[in-house]
Amino acid sequence: MSQSRIPGFYELPMAERRIRIADFARTTPDELAAALDFGGIDPAAADNIVENVIGTYALPFGIALNFQVNAVDRLVPMVVEEPSVIAAASNAARMVRRGGGFLAEQPEALMIGQIEVHDVPDAVRAAAAVDGAREELLRRAVEAAPGLVPYGGGPRGLEIRDLGGGYVVVHVLVDCCDAMGANMVNTVAEALGPRIAELTGGSLGLRILTNLADRRRVRVSCRVPAAALVGRDRRTGQGGPDGAAERGVEISAAIETASRFAEADPYRAATHNKGIMNGVDAVAIATGNDWRAIEAGAHAFAARSGRYRPLSIWRRDGDALVGTLEMPMAVGIVGGTLRVHPAARVALKILAANSARDLAFALAAAGLASNLAAVRALATEGINRGHMALHARSVAVTVGASGREVDALVDRLVHGGVITLDAATEALAAIRDGR
């Protein structure tokens, strides 16, 4: 299997799903089971990662389907507890696939280490002194992180910023290759700190990376044919050619209007961006990356103009809907949790991410797909209808339905419009009595 398009995947038993995924990822179901069963990590290993461990906490590990990024099919692993996120991203990726998939780029991949000095007597002279010592400082930076150079990485430049009030900040730009790079960047900043304080005549302050990694931005776009936005009813299989083009144009217009709302109102933009992060965070967690750092960078980037704005924009273009997303994406495929968490390692194998750039593209595509799914639902039938079936499934399992009973009970609950434990208990009894 070499395609991320797997019709009927959700209907397969878990064992069969693992066989399909193992085939795609060139691994075995046994390796998947060893990495994913019982939460993916044992308490002994967890005890070596964080402090005061008393156990582990598991979340569902699922696969988003249908993704095609830069003409390469990707199965996208997601760890998330919220119903509908994986299904919605898969459905949106299927729509995007009909328009050629996602296109992604990352013009540069530099992390920023900040070296802050305060009580600087003359900021202009301080900046000139640092600029004059640029070659010396970069040489010291290379010496502080020699392991990067053989892999084509290392320090790339310096930026000097006068914040006023006697504060001067020097940014050291570092290419961390396939690592997220926090520890390496901090090491470089620590090494340069004393010399920069000497050059500026100020008092040395903080030396640490910034999570506003705007020199490591990723851009992803997609073009969705209007007819693809209509979709099909998963239960009946109905929907499609008849009136699809006209209905698709209506949906495109509604999505563009919703996008413009987010551009005009920070209150809406916050929720718009949350929909993006539903996808981004789920992939980051699955692959052992620091989702908190990604969140911090995303929201800071959204507010860089002084007004909080959406990270993605949707516009109609002829008979298609075009979406674009740009955001910082500091991720890695080596180091950190990846070394000790089997599930994170197998997630990268499933994704077939051979570089940090591959991973960044997948996260951004998952974010744009999740955003499309959410805005489409809001602009058409409303968000709750999209959640009903998955909520009903959780209720069905809670009241004791199993096997084929689950689908039958979900069908009754959704069509009845009342999804409660009492209604589910009564409906399950009726199903078992043949009523």
Query: What are the residue boundaries of the structural domains of the chain, listed by start?
Result: 9-105+218-380, 110-209, 386-432
Catalytic pick from 119, 190, 263, 274? 274
Catalytic pick from 105, 190, 387, 405? 387
- Is the domain spanning 110-209 CATH 3.40.50.720? The answer is no
Catalytic pick from 73, 116, 178, 290? 290
Taking the C-alpha atoms of residue 1 and residue 374, their distance in angstroms, rounded to an integer, is 30
Contacts 24+ apart (CB under 8 A), 316-321: 316/252, 316/253, 316/256, 317/223, 319/225, 319/226, 319/227, 319/245, 319/248, 319/249, 320/99, 320/223, 320/224, 320/225, 320/226, 320/252, 321/223, 321/224, 321/226, 321/229, 321/251, 321/252, 321/255, 321/256
Q: Span 9-105+218-380: which CATH code?
A: 3.90.770.10
Active site residue 30: no
Active site residue 263: no
For residue 239, what pLDDT is reported? Answer: 47
For residue 188, what pLDDT is reported? Answer: 98
Catalytic pick from 37, 82, 136, 317? 82
Q: Span 386-432: which CATH code?
A: 1.10.8
Active site residue 387: yes
For residue 387, what pLDDT is reported? Answer: 59
- Both tokens of 344, joined, read 């994170």
Contact 117, 206 (CB under 8 A): no
Taking the C-alpha atoms of residue 195 and residue 130, their distance in angstroms, rounded to an integer, is 9
Q: Which residues pair with 322 in a beta bridge?
A: 223, 315
pLDDT along the chain (435 residues), means of 10: 85 94 92 89 88 93 98 97 93 97 97 98 98 98 92 95 98 97 96 98 98 98 96 49 77 96 98 98 97 98 98 96 98 85 94 97 98 93 60 86 87 86 92 87
Taking the C-alpha atoms of residue 88 and residue 95, their distance in angstroms, rounded to an integer, is 11
pTM beyond 0.75: yes
Active site residue 274: yes
Q: Which of 154, 192, 194, 151 is nearest to 171 (CA)?
A: 192
**Ramachandran quadrant class, 67 (left: phi over 0; alpha: psi -120 to 50; beta: rest):** beta
Q: Which amino acid is at 279?
A: G
The CA-atom distances, in angstroms, between 100 and each of 66, 93, 107, 205, 221 are 11, 10, 21, 50, 11
- Both tokens of 355, joined, read 């570089």
CA angle 81, 82, 87 (to 5 degrees): 110
